[in-house]
Amino acid sequence: MISKLLSMIKRPSTINQRFKRLAMNDPLTGLPNQRTLVATLDQELARSEQYHHSSSILYLDLDDFKNVNDIYGHSIGDAILREFTGLIRSLLRRHDTLGRWRDEEFLIILSETGKEGAQVIVERIHATLAGYSFSSVKGLHLSHLSCSIGIATYPTTALLREQLLTAADRNMYVAKQQMH
C-alpha cells in the first residue's frame, strides 16, 4: 500500500519533468529548441557583459537538405539530422551549446570565444563534414553533406541578441553564396 502511494506521488513529478523536457528540447534531436537557445544566449550575453569577454554564435544551415528529404524520404532525413547533431556536438567543448533553431538550421553558442576561436571551430566542422560518410541508415553512405555557417561575436559584431542573430544569419547566407 505504501509503495503504491509513493509511486503515485513520484509519477506527477516524472510527468512534469517529461513535459518540461519536451518544452525545452527539440523532439527529433533532443537538442535545446529555439526558446531555450534564446534564454541561453541571453544568459551568455549577460555573463559576457559582466566579465568583459567575447562570446560568439554560429548559425549553421545544412546545404540542400531538402534534396536529402526528397530523394531518401523524411525518416532517413531525420536519422541524418540526428547523426549530424551528434557529430557536431562531438566537435564542441562541454560548455558550448548546440541547439536546433528550425528545420535544418542550428545555432551554436560559444562561451568566452572571440571571432578567431569561432573561425577555428567553423573550419573544424567543415573539415569533419568533408571527410564524413553518414551511415545512420543501413546501406546509405551520404558523403556530400555540407553546411554554411555564419559567425557573429559579442561585442565586436553587435551588443544585442537580435542584432547578433541577424548578423549570424546574414553571414551564413554570405557563406552559402560563396559555396555556389
CA–CA distance, 154 with 50 (Å, rounded to integer): 12
Residue 173 Cα to chain centre, angstroms: 17
Q: How many CB atoms lie within 10 A of CB 65?
A: 19
Residue 154: name the closest of 36, 42, 29 by CA: 42
Task: Tell me how many domains the chain contains.
Answer: 1
pTM: 0.87
pLDDT digits 0-9 by tens, 133-156: 887 666 666 667 899 999 999 999
- pLDDT for 133 equals 85
Average pLDDT, the chain: 89
Q: How many CB atoms lie within 10 A of CB 32?
A: 21
Please, which residues bridge with residue 149 across strands? Answer: 60
* Per annotation, catalytic residue among 44, 49, 83, 104: 104
Residue 165 near residue 45, CB atoms below 8 Å: no
pLDDT digits 0-9 by tens, 94-145: 999 999 999 999 999 999 999 999 999 999 999 999 989 887 666 666 667 8
Could you tell me the three cell numbers for 80? Answer: 541524418
* Residue 104 appears among annotated catalytic residues: yes
Residue 58: name the closest of 117, 10, 15, 7 by CA: 117
Q: Which CATH number does the domain housing residue 113 bear?
A: 3.30.70.270
> Domain range spanning residue 163?
2-179
Flag whether pLDDT at 71 surpasses 90: no
Flag whether pLDDT at 6 surpasses 60: no
